Structure 1
Amino acid sequence: MASIDNNWQTSMPGDWQVRRVVETGSTNSDLFAQAESGAPHHSALLADFQTAGRGRLDRTWQAKAGANLLLSLLFRDSHVDVAQCQRRVAVGAVRACRKFLDTDSLAMQPVKLKWPNDLLLAGTKFGGMLSVADQTQSFVVVGIGVNIGWAPETAAKLADVSRDPSLSPLTFLAELLRQTSELEKTSDENLHELYLADLATLHRLVRVELTDSRVVVGRAIAVNQDGRLIVQTDERLLTIETGDVVHLRDAVGE
């Protein structure tokens, strides 16, 4: 596994230790194994290409080599609450994206989150996250993929609306790490409020496809501190740990 260029390494904010590889199966799997072998807090693994990248529910996540951000981040010790770690990276990613958009672009192409782990650009997915923790909860690995310079036909990419059409994954990475480090100084309560402010799912009419094939339709009224979605249906209040969310339009339109 090759280290990144030293000149680029020194440009990374804070105490992040980033390693870059040309190709790997999965940055999450690799960094998880490194964490089990003692890799320190704020280790990060960046890949130009993944051959076995996976999203939530074991879905494939692939991208054109070198075009997008394919990254995993390691959090240890007091930083290991899974929901909080993913929330921190999610809000950091939204803030990083907004740094590269001008005011007009932000008004027309808002960057938001969709529960549980998607990044949206004007309502279209352009990124996602997947978090894994060890059995003893001594560390968490947060994987994130962001379409920077390439996207499939059904998705969006940041370069299309960036002030800099040549925006690179490395430039975006530096800003993401900077924003994530700043958010580590924020209390859990304040971070949760920041997350809710960026969440497009909140207060929306949604359809949730659960892992047991059931489908729930209702209004997303909250996300609790554990990251579970609270949905009010016609019959009852449901707390949902995981599922696929589709944003629906109200009868009067939104």
Structure 2
Amino acid sequence: MTAGPTKHPARGPLDPARLSEAFALAPELSLELLEEAPSTNQVAAERAKAGAPEGLVVVADHQVAGRGRLNRAWETPTGTAVTFSLVLRPSVPATSWPWLPLLVGHNVAKALTALGYGARVKWPNDVLLEGDLKVAGILVERVETPTGPAAIVGVGINVAMTAEELPVPTATSLAAAGPGTPDRHTVLLAAVAAVREGYDVWQAGGEQGTARLAASYRSQCATLGRDVRVDLPGGGQLTGRAVDVDGDGRLVVETTSGTERVGAGDVVHVRAT
């Protein structure tokens, strides 16, 4: 799926015809485009419970009540972001599911890098640009459906927000970072294609596929080799050097008292110190 970049992207609505034409070239995907939605993950979860097949992509032209990890709010001005959720029905063992959030962040970063932005991943799945500024967030949720569990993969990418519109000093957008800004169609199609391709390769590869994903993820992970503070639920903290991501997708931290491993679901924040 491809779409040409524009030098000065307008903040107008996404073009249904343009997106439908692009999705028609990808039979493993289907599109549901909404003018506005509280949360694409919520809509996609409802569709999955109603029997939606793997590959449904729910896109909101404007998401008004987006959520990040731990129910953090994620909102953007109209026409400035790409927000979508992808329904997946993994056949990998349940023990491999923790790799899904990392896989998604990794492949979104690869898509942005291919568009000319030097993106990296902060463990587990925040996508960063230069200066450790966050440009995209990922939320993967498991839902039970009549035909088995599904993964709802939510992605939000800041595309056209100006520096003044960014919600926090640690955020950025493609427009604020430069060079140039592709339009939202370009970013959406690139991100969806990269995530689906990476997922399919991982699924087909078995244990070797996970090993290859782990190696590729480590090479792109901005957290490794840095001193970090890990904030834990309940107010606890863990400080040390992030030295690895293990075979289960957990962050390995060398502390003064030994080696600790933490999973994405076990942490509140991970910050460089």
TM (norm. structure 2) is 0.80
Which deviations, in whole Å up to 9, do the C-alpha atoms of 1:7-34 show, x marking residues without a partner? 4212135221121112111111110111
> Which of 37, 55, 65 is the equivalent residue of 2:78?
65
Task: Name the counterpart of 2:205.
Answer: none
Shift of residue 135 of structure 1? 4.5
> Which of 173, 184, 198 is the equivalent residue of 2:220?
198
2:125 counterpart of 1:124: no
Q: Which moved more, 1:224-233 or 1:3-12?
A: 3-12
Name the CA shift for 1:168/1:193 in 2 (closer, same or farther; >3 Å).
same
CA contact under 8 A between 1:69 and 1:147: conserved in structure 2? yes
Shift of residue 92 of structure 1? 1.6
Unpaired segments of 5 or more residues in structure 1? 249-254
- State how far apart, in whole Å, the 2-side matches of 1:223 and 1:212 are: 24
Task: Name the counterpart of 1:211.
Answer: 233
- State how far apart, in whole Å, the 1-side matches of 2:231 and 2:99 are: 24
Q: What secondary structure is seen at the aligned counterpart in 2 of 1:145? A: strand
Shift of residue 216 of structure 1? 1.0
- State how far apart, in whole Å, the 1-side matches of 2:55 and 2:101 are: 14
Name the CA shift for 1:82/1:18 in 2 (closer, same or farther; >3 Å).
farther
Which deviations, in whole Å up to 9, do the C-alpha atoms of 1:103-154 show, x marking residues without a partner? xxx5xxx311111221111111111111101247621011111111113352
Name the CA shift for 1:124/1:7 in 2 (closer, same or farther; >3 Å).
closer
CA contact under 8 A between 1:45 and 1:72: conserved in structure 2? yes
- State how far apart, in whole Å, the 1-side matches of 2:247 and 2:120 are: 19
CA RMSD across the alignment: 2.1
Unpaired segments of 5 or more residues in structure 2? 1-13, 203-208
Name the CA shift for 1:217/1:78 in 2 (closer, same or farther; >3 Å).
same
Shift of residue 37 of structure 1? 0.7
Which deviations, in whole Å up to 9, do the C-alpha atoms of 1:32-77 show, x marking residues without a partner? 1110111110111111222221111111000111211111111114
- State how far apart, in whole Å, the 2-side matches of 1:224 and 1:181 are: 23
Q: Identity rate of aligned residues, in percent?
A: 29
Identify, as 1 or 2, the structure richer in helix: 2
- State how far apart, in whole Å, the 2-side matches of 1:232 and 1:193 are: 19
- State how far apart, in whole Å, the 2-side matches of 1:29 and 1:212 are: 27
CA contact under 8 A between 1:87 and 1:191: conserved in structure 2? no
Report the count of equivalent residues. Answer: 238
2:95 counterpart of 1:87: no
TM (norm. structure 1) is 0.86
- State how far apart, in whole Å, the 1-side matches of 2:16 and 2:68 are: 28
- State how far apart, in whole Å, the 1-side matches of 2:47 and 2:197 are: 25
